[in-house]
Amino acid sequence: MKKIEAIIRESQFLKVRDALKNLGVKHFTYWDVTGVGKEKQPHVYRGVNYESSAINRRFISLVVSEDLLDAAIEALLDSASTNEVGDGKIFVLPVEKSIRIRTKESGPSSL
Amino acid sequence: MTDALFTANNLWLMICTALVFIMHLGFGFLELGMTRQKNAINIFFKNFFVITMGILVYYLVGFNLMYPGFSDGSPGILDFAGFGLSLPGGESIDYAGGGYTYWTDFLFQAVFAATAATIVSGAVAERVKLEGFMIFSLLYVAIAYPIVGSWQWGGGWLSQLGFHDFAGSTLVHSVGGWAALMFVYFLGPRIGKYQDGRTNAIPGHNLPLAAAGVLILWLGWFGFNGGSVLSAEPNATSLVLVNTCLAASAGAIVAFLVAKISFKSFDLTMLMNGVLGGLVGITAGADQMSVIESIVIGGLSGVIVVYGITLLDTVLKLDDPVGAIAVHLICGIWGTLAVGLFGDLASGSQFIYQAVGVGVIGLFCVITSSIFLLITKYTVGIRAKRDFEIQGLDCTEHAMDAYSDFQTK
């Protein structure tokens, strides 16, 4: 089992969600995050120009079985991309154990 | 004058009183929206204090200081008709020519008085010490505002001179604006506003709510200017409302165009300040102007307010989160002088009367504000503690969150 963490543009979220769904990913978790990076967003407030270094992105987290891993990464790369700077990043981490609370079953079948 | 007409007049003045009262919600929303969420409770606490204290203090001393009934031959500078309210003899149609009752008179004037103090509240937001603000606004509403008012609306020396200020561009808005200017000068900017000679933007946390505040203020102005006719006289009342709305609209359109050309963005806050600038600008002469002149006065207010805000914010380094000084003081001065330039009263001598009124009232307000601020500064203090200001006044002064459990998205 592997955990995939991806930071993506909010605007790509629906495409990413549908791509993962089509792949057979039954559920995943996401939340809105703010980060600091190279991108500066220009703002004007009452005649004063300023740049906000705060970048808004969506963070998604899912755990997949080994046989789904490559397809899931492929789907993410494809659906999250706009080919502009700032499309985000994907991280893959090993997962030691996974348990479904209701049935107490563990392993890939609990995903 | 029939009883029916008296009733209709009085009813209109009571409606106007209610409209001016609801301006306090408008001021509250505007100030809340243009500042940070960590001070939201503090802002409404100040605004509630001003309207409640304002009505009580105006009852106690303000009304009789502002309308002392100067006797013939009096210089019309200072007089006092005693504490509290007392029904004058012959309470009937005869009081104020059938325009309204004594009670309506008091309440209409009381909500006006509180307006002058609430103008200060926006300018000093986010770093003023609550106790200091309370003491200053109490002194200002009790003493400075009614004395200035007595010179004109109370029949004092300015009205004898020929000064004209229909609904209070100077008497209410500039009086509040001068106090705001002096308070901001004594108080200094919010932490982080100016660093190494650079001006930082501190964006407001709820611009839709600020927008609601501006529209509520505009609605309130129907009462502020409409009620200042002091009767429901059909022609005058209707013309005043038309002039008021045209000036507000022209102020908004011109302000957003000026801001777009100068800053390359459609700035909602500048548009809203244009509405308010136009309203303040027309307030002195809403009864004297033709509709075209109202549009010109409102439109020029839109130019003045945008450059006024930028001048104060980036050149003079006077930190005014809501733009109260530019809107109420600078547009108030403009509107008052405009009575000498446009409309039925326009003449060289009228312009001089207007300038004398602006100058003397300005000087009086600067001096009284400074005295009250010094008294406040060396007793309870005027500036919130540094770490209170950084953490936010809500959790430090009030032990409350404005939006506990509330999340966006």
Test the B interface: residue of A46, A48, A58 with most B CBs within 10 Å: A46
Q: How many H helices and E strands in chain A?
A: 2, 4
Closest chain B CA to residue A32: B409
Closest CA to B126 of B45, B25, B35: B35
Backbone angles phi, psi at B47, to 5 degrees: -65, -40
Q: Do B200 and A48 touch (CB under 8 A)?
A: yes
Which H or E element spans position B67? Answer: none
Structure tokens at B346: 């326009």
Query: Which tokens in the block code for residue B252?
Result: 């908004």
Q: Which residue of A has its CA nearest to B199?
A: A48
Q: What is the pLDDT of residues B35-65, one digit of tens each?
A: 999 999 999 999 999 999 999 999 999 999 9
Which neighbouring-strand residues pair with A4? A62, A92
CB contact under 8 A, A32 and B200: no
Give the pLDDT score at B49: 97
Chain A residues with beta carbon closer than 8 angstroms to that of B265? 44
pLDDT along chain A (111 residues), means of 10: 95 95 91 84 84 87 93 96 92 94 89 82
Q: What is the pLDDT of residues B112-127, one digit of tens each?
A: 999 998 999 999 999 9
Query: What is the dihedral angle through the alpha carbons of A46, A51, A53, A57, rounded to the nearest 10 degrees?
Result: 70
Distance CA B299, CA B217 (A): 18
Residue B60 Rama label (left phi>0; alpha psi -120 to 50; beta): alpha
* Closest CB to A44 among B199, B263, B409: B263
State the residue for tokens 């220009």. A42
- Of the pLDDT bands very low, low, confident and very high (cuts 50, 70, 90), residue B229 is very high
Extended strands (E) in chain A: 2-8, 29-45, 48-64, 88-94
Instruction: Please state the pTM of the whole predicted model.
Output: 0.89
**DSSP one-letter string for B183-200:** HHHHH-PPTTSEETTEEP
Mean pLDDT is highest, among A44-48, A85-89, B237-241, B403-407, for B237-241
Nearest residue on chain A to B272, alpha-carbon basis: A46
- How many CB atoms lie under 10 A from the CB of residue B249? 19
Residues of A in contact with B276 (CB under 8 A): none
Query: Does any CB of chain B come closer than 8 Å to the CB of residue A85?
Result: no
Tell me: pLDDT of B90 over 60.
no
Using a pLDDT cut of 70, give the percent of chain B over it: 99
Please indicate whether, in this complex, the C-beta atoms of A44 and B264 are within 8 angstroms of each other. yes
Nearest to A44 among B199, B265, B323 (CB): B265
The C-alpha of A77 sits at a distance from chain B's nearest C-alpha, in angstroms, of 26
B116 backbone φψ class: left, alpha, beta (φ>0; ψ -120 to 50): alpha
Closest residue in A to B270 (Cα) is: A46
Q: What is the pLDDT of residue B78?
A: 87
User: Rounded mean pLDDT of chain B?
Assistant: 94
